[in-house]
Structure 1
């Protein structure tokens, strides 16, 4: 990817990759560079080129196309930015509570251009997450909420529920005329200023706002460019929520690249996954195409997104499909590759990857030309913290997908959490990260920031250290994720907080969940939650019982709702006992949609556990 940042046939001379690399090849953003620097360059240079395209399926099954050129974006940013400057003081938080669409993008970038701190969120009609929205607004304390005219009434109702002294002003993005932009005053932004607060999805705790700086944004986008091998002319397609780190980085990448992205809403994709596949094919007619999605999207696309009979789709130029945000499953990738290979999808297209909000997003992936790799590990040894390869057909084998190599100018080490010393390859520990892409900390949480972002590695490996090149006094981010290096690739084994410990043995919930899904076709794959509860909380247990017991909650597959559930429960119990040597305290079969998920679509195991303990999941099967 020697000239990834220069295209001789492009309409203007783009900066070269070397402009952002030092003599050693490390990524270094010049002082004064900000997200607005990149935006203004593209607005001035390619004003009539399309930057963002949104497909609105709310009134038209085929999608109404709404396009925004760079020039139009500049006009709208000045108008909304000027309006914000009238009612905010530099550094104020500005929350975006708007539906997915062009206005959301304008509001997000305008808040930053005005010198405020953007807080990307979602409109209050987003089902099931009002409590999270309330918690985030109470934490961020925005002085202004940006929304749209269509969503303004719902936003106003929600704001009225907040304490009177903390109610933000509401501005409808699409009601601010372009003429207001005449009063916009340029703001000098420092590279280390906070651009936005990325609130975590809350899969294992209450959401907290990660302080993402302009340096972190620029560094992380460049890291992704180098790691994925994508270039300036690549097109992208995304249905990911714009308030989620992965969806947000898709539009931020366009702001840095100066290319274009086609967007749709998450609901449009979930209702008809074909829309995503068709758009990928449409964009790939123009050249290499890139997208990102969590693992469940690949499963859903196989189930409900296949082209109609006789439909002519060409996916040959779909060169990179980042698979991240939730555990990557080899079976999901194999199904997707098999289903779409007849339409030209390269076998190397899916890229297992790892990322997190605290790192802006991107941490690791596999090379552009590489296919996903899987190794099979001994389950018992893995539970004891050792990655021991075994044959695929070994009775105790568990599949582990490699998530590639850590990005340039970022370091990832595997650490013993008790000694805070680096572990060698093949040993499981917590993943610690260091680099200029790491967020500055958690908004308003000094103690938690020190605990998570301010760690010192007590001892590096004498040889083969993955910390080589990082400063000796570097501070490290504790990710809370468990991982291991195998053959130079990073493998993610689970979350520390989700780890199930029974009788002194470690079990990974996603492993148990996969076994459950495979046990019966009447279980909805990808919609299973496994967790542990105190033994004395299990119905029928005596109050003096100690230890932990395992509970499984599984959603029924389509068409499986009317049958007798007991044979399915028996199959699950037998499979988990055989593969994991675990007795199950409870197996609950529930309707589709019952298991809670975070706003980013991840399984919310802790929330499911809370529902179970409160009895809200209904009848319990023994």
Structure 2
């Protein structure tokens, strides 16, 4: 295979890599120039050889799971072969979209695109129901030169590409059809630590999703931050069913690439259909040492309900030390349900770690301490509406539960501001701003939006209690659009100023759902619908408030509710927990005439629409 002589020296220099090699005595994480996401792949090949790197359990034809495995030698061969083919038809910096099914081909394609000097765009094979429109939008925005997929998915990929209005459609390469011999033509490019490695697209439905530019430094920093925050070993084992195009799923495959060892992957639907598959594999991996994983809140509830082992089957979860719970609002009910269900099998009481993260920060931002158990506070609903976090007893009728996200991970600064750049005191609700080397460069092709979101500066800081201590005065901060507060030094999320609705780990834009509701029945006043989420017993749940259209005064509310529920379920695959069919003029609007969802949500929680109670509820 083609080799860069300088790469040999780099591999030797890091052959005995330790966390301490990248952390100064003062705790600062430093990624040396020249280190990239693929710097250690050849080192891992030299050290681990034919030992497994990435394993995929395929349950599509075998209920027990067929193992598809790539050794480190095999991964390196595939990366160099695909990389060599890309070098023949791309220029450095071109975007390369990954549209392979979940599995080891996805992993090889992703790292090959990066190793070849192009920018990977992790997406998904066009097999997800209702997602082709989003896929087309992202492809149209990223404008990839090449699409990497598999022989089995190539035809469906080409159909999607035909829907993109562009003169230059990308070439399609089936990575499983390339012979390993092509690797001999690979020429290692010069990659810089601050080069963009991939675009992590945010969720979007009513507008084109935005691609966050994630650099090699961003990823390497965030992996080290997660290792330090979780007191994890470099070679920690893991099991993940998370989709590889999702920021949480993608970060999971970075650990083996940068640290060695291996990870076991499975398809998301394999977990949803039989949650015990994930639990069982966690037990198998934990027999070899400390094990960690990550999942959204709904997964823990689902696993507690349907993921217990069959009678008589042994399961030992003693070494499952860290289970990150993020990507959607976290509830204590789900945490406690999961912990109680699997405590008899050795699961530590401190295993679940409520966390905060986002694509713009590569992934992880904050989490609770390794020795801590999940905890929550109860805040007064009315005070929250006024921007203040005031604790009340859990039995208080106005109590709203909020789970602690702990503290910022090492070398990540998290401040709460008034939105104008002034840091606010503990107990005050404000917008969360972030600073650190894990923060992405900005949004691909969106200069104005990048400046607005990524290039903010703090105007004032608190005194001795500032959470910005150590950050230069002229540093840039990321304005997350998320609302939160500090209480007792711990971070609590209280809402999202962006109005994004997150249900069962999936993001939904309210305007998209509102449009569906407006079209579901002529009795609904078009454009006068508010969709938002509220806390429920099993996490966030969807509420819709819709005004009656003119002439619909005698329409039976139950029939309208049924039509709305059916349309939202069909088009968005979510359940409407509560529907309120209100009189015209009831939903609050801004002075400019825009829908005031936040105000509508507050009025709903305050009981203002109780007389319009959903008849089907």
TM-score (norm 1): 0.82
Alpha-carbon distance in structure 2 between the residues aligned to 1:586 and 1:104: 49
- The offset of 1:95, in angstroms, is 0.2
Question: Once the two structures are superposed, what CA deviation does each residue of 1:291-347 show, in whole Å capped at 9, x if it has no partner?
Answer: 000001011112221222222211111111000000000011111111111111111
Alpha-carbon distance in structure 1 between the residues aligned to 2:148 and 2:173: 5
Alignment of 1:144-183 (within 5 A): 144-163=146-165, 165-183=167-185
- The offset of 1:22, in angstroms, is 2.9
Instruction: Give the corresponding residue for 1:193.
Output: 195
Alpha-carbon distance in structure 2 between the residues aligned to 1:467 and 1:118: 33
Alpha-carbon distance in structure 1 between the residues aligned to 2:31 and 2:359: 20
Instruction: Give the corresponding residue for 2:52.
Output: 50
More displaced 10-residue stretch of structure 1: 303-312 or 275-284: 303-312
- The offset of 1:588, in angstroms, is 6.1
- The offset of 1:23, in angstroms, is 4.3
Alpha-carbon distance in structure 2 between the residues aligned to 1:578 and 1:453: 33
Instruction: Give the corresponding residue for 1:17.
Output: 19
Instruction: Give the corresponding residue for 1:601.
Output: none
1:485 is the counterpart of 2:486: yes
Pair 1:125–1:379, CA change in 2 (3 A): same
Instruction: Give the corresponding residue for 1:362.
Output: 364
Alpha-carbon distance in structure 1 between the residues aligned to 2:611 and 2:474: 48
- Report SS of the residue matched to 1:491: strand
Pair 1:161–1:577, CA change in 2 (3 A): closer
Determine if contact 2:140/2:165 at 8 Å carries over to the other structure.
no
Determine if contact 2:543/2:579 at 8 Å carries over to the other structure.
no
Question: Once the two structures are superposed, what CA deviation does each residue of 1:339-364 show, in whole Å capped at 9, x if it has no partner?
Answer: 11111111111000000000000101
1:344 is the counterpart of 2:370: no
Out of 522, 525, 543, which is 1:530 matched to?
A: 543
Pair 1:310–1:283, CA change in 2 (3 A): same
More displaced 10-residue stretch of structure 1: 387-396 or 198-207: 198-207
Instruction: Give the corresponding residue for 2:461.
Output: 460
Alpha-carbon distance in structure 1 between the residues aligned to 2:431 and 2:154: 44
- The offset of 1:162, in angstroms, is 2.4
Alpha-carbon distance in structure 2 between the residues aligned to 1:139 and 1:224: 31
Instruction: Give the corresponding residue for 2:321.
Output: 319
Alpha-carbon distance in structure 1 between the residues aligned to 2:206 and 2:16: 42
Determine if contact 2:545/2:579 at 8 Å carries over to the other structure.
no
Instruction: Give the corresponding residue for 1:583.
Output: 609
Instruction: Give the corresponding residue for 2:61.
Output: 59
1:38 is the counterpart of 2:55: no
Alpha-carbon distance in structure 2 between the residues aligned to 1:322 and 1:14: 28
Instruction: Give the corresponding residue for 1:444.
Output: 445
- The offset of 1:386, in angstroms, is 0.9
- Report SS of the residue matched to 1:180: helix
Instruction: Give the corresponding residue for 2:590.
Output: none
Instruction: Give the corresponding residue for 2:495.
Output: 494
RMSD: 2.9
Alpha-carbon distance in structure 2 between the residues aligned to 1:372 and 1:411: 22
- The offset of 1:509, in angstroms, is 5.0
Pair 1:531–1:416, CA change in 2 (3 A): farther
- The offset of 1:182, in angstroms, is 0.4
Alpha-carbon distance in structure 2 between the residues aligned to 1:193 and 1:91: 9
Instruction: Give the corresponding residue for 1:250.
Output: 252
Alignment of 1:324-473 (within 5 A): 324-417=326-419, 419-473=420-474
Alpha-carbon distance in structure 1 between the residues aligned to 2:340 and 2:254: 32
Alpha-carbon distance in structure 2 between the residues aligned to 1:225 and 1:105: 21
Question: Once the two structures are superposed, what CA deviation does each residue of 1:530-563 show, in whole Å capped at 9, x if it has no partner?
Answer: 2556x57699589xxxxxxx999879xxxxxxxx
Alpha-carbon distance in structure 2 between the residues aligned to 1:88 and 1:579: 54
Instruction: Give the corresponding residue for 2:216.
Output: 214
TM-score (norm 2): 0.83
Alpha-carbon distance in structure 2 between the residues aligned to 1:578 and 1:363: 31
Determine if contact 1:146/1:173 at 8 Å carries over to the other structure.
yes
Instruction: Give the corresponding residue for 1:614.
Output: none
Out of 120, 131, 142, which is 2:133 matched to?
A: 131
Alpha-carbon distance in structure 1 between the residues aligned to 2:174 and 2:131: 22
Alpha-carbon distance in structure 2 between the residues aligned to 1:103 and 1:330: 37
How many residue pairs end up in the alignment?
Answer: 542
- Report SS of the residue matched to 1:421: coil
Alpha-carbon distance in structure 2 between the residues aligned to 1:248 and 1:370: 26
Alpha-carbon distance in structure 2 between the residues aligned to 1:537 and 1:21: 62
- Report SS of the residue matched to 2:494: strand
Alpha-carbon distance in structure 2 between the residues aligned to 1:413 and 1:537: 44
Instruction: Give the corresponding residue for 2:584.
Output: none
